[in-house]
């Protein structure tokens, strides 16, 4: 039997990911998986694809690996996954750094295999160390208005940031945050702006924040916790435990997670892999909404609210 895999993982490392998968296809004697890729630079996002599948009456992917979190967090979409997908956490063990957080799904339908942390970076040539923000909440003060940037709502980084702030501080605080921000299309542009001094602070993934050879940039792990972007795995009931175990071992296993960790400073889930010293120094504190929050979170209202600020700022 052959299984279809819907894949949308770390966009900046997608070439490396696809090369790894292609190698596994060649070297494994038994590899009953075909891959379809979604996300940045692909014909469709994962959320759009899953919505199309739901409208057609069947989710085509037997295994889903995705950092496009709306498919898991939006209850109007996630309920379809839970109808067809199995509880299989025992086949994908995770380390204590992630297990003891709100990231794992309480009903065990979606399982994190890596997590991309969002942290703050500050241009140390423009801001004295004593005046640098220590928390996301600091950015909402009048002192930092128009001095910070983040990659916008049209990617997982921006969406995860805003949802976590909404969860932690409420809708009004998110409105204040948006009104004082420079909103770029992608995190890379926000990082570029802080490097060139167009803004003093940016919120970016660690793949940028901990980049070697960049001078005058200080990475700060926020007091509330870094914003995690988990890559969740979901598996249909029709996938045998033997084949799903093969997928986990050969595609999501220790070797691949180590490559991602070395390339992007992500947090691996594999119990035998360590986390970065930057994460360890900050107790790997992460700010991720409780799953109960998403049961009443209105994604349509969220996007309408964010889009109104995005278009208003673009027009200025």
Spans of all domains in the chain: 3-113+231-275, 116-226+295-315
Question: How far is 254 from 292, CA to CA, in rounded Å?
Answer: 31
Residue 316 has pLDDT above 70, yes or no: no
CATH class (in words) of the domain with range 3-113+231-275: alpha beta
Q: Do domains 3-113+231-275 and 116-226+295-315 have the same CATH topology?
A: yes
Q: Read off the pLDDT band of 49 (50, 70, 90).
A: very high
* Mean pLDDT (the chain, rounded): 92
The pLDDT score that the predictor gives to residue 90 is 66
80-87 mean pLDDT: 88
The DSSP code sequence of 271-298 is TTSPPPHHHHHTTT-B----HHHHHH--
Q: Which of 6-20, 119-133, 151-165 has the highest mean pLDDT?
A: 119-133
- Reported as a single tens digit per residue, the pLDDT across 189-234 is 999 999 999 999 999 999 999 887 788 999 999 999 999 999 999 9
265-282 mean pLDDT: 94
The pLDDT score that the predictor gives to residue 313 is 47
User: If we measure between CA atoms, which residue out of 24, 4, 7 comes closest to residue 259?
Assistant: 24
Question: Strand, coil or helix: what is 117?
Answer: strand
CATH number for the region 116-226+295-315 comes to 3.40.190.10
């Amino acid at each position: 039997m052959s299984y279809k895999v819907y894949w949308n993982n770390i966009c900046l490392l997608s070439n490396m990911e696809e090369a790894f998968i292609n190698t596994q296809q060649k070297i494994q004697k038994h590899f009953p998986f075909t891959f379809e890729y979604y996300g940045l630079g692909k014909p469709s996002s994962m959320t759009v694809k899953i919505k199309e599948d739901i409208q057609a009456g069947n989710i085509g992917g037997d295994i889903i690996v995705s950092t496009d979190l709306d498919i898991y967090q939006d209850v109007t979409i996630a309920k379809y996954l839970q109808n067809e997908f199995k509880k299989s956490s025992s086949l994908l063990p995770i380390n204590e750094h992630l297990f003891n957080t709100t990231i794992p799904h309480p009903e065990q339908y979606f399982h994190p295999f890596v997590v991309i942390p969002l942290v703050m970076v500050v241009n140390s040539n423009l801001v004295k160390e004593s005046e640098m923000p220590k928390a996301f909440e600091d950015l909402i003060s009048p002192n930092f208005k128009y001095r910070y940037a983040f990659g916008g709502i049209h990617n997982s980084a921006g969406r995860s940031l805003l949802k976590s702030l909404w969860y932690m501080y409420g809708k009004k605080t998110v409105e204040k945050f948006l009104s004082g921000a420079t909103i770029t299309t992608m995190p890379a542009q926000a990082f570029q702006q802080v490097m060139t001094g167009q803004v003093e602070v940016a919120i970016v993934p660690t793949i940028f924040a901990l980049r070697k050879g960049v001078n005058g940039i200080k990475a700060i792990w926020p007091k509330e916790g870094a914003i995690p972007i988990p890559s969740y795995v979901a598996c249909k009931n029709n996938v045998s435990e033997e084949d799903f175990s093969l997928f986990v071992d050969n595609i999501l296993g220790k070797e691949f997670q180590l490559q991602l960790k070395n390339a992007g400073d992500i947090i691996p889930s594999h119990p035998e892999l360590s986390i970065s010293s930057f994460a360890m120094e900050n107790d790997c504190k992460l700010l991720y909404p409780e799953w109960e929050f998403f049961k009443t979170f209105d994604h349509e209202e969220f996007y309408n609210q964010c889009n109104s600020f995005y278009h208003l700022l673009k027009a200025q």
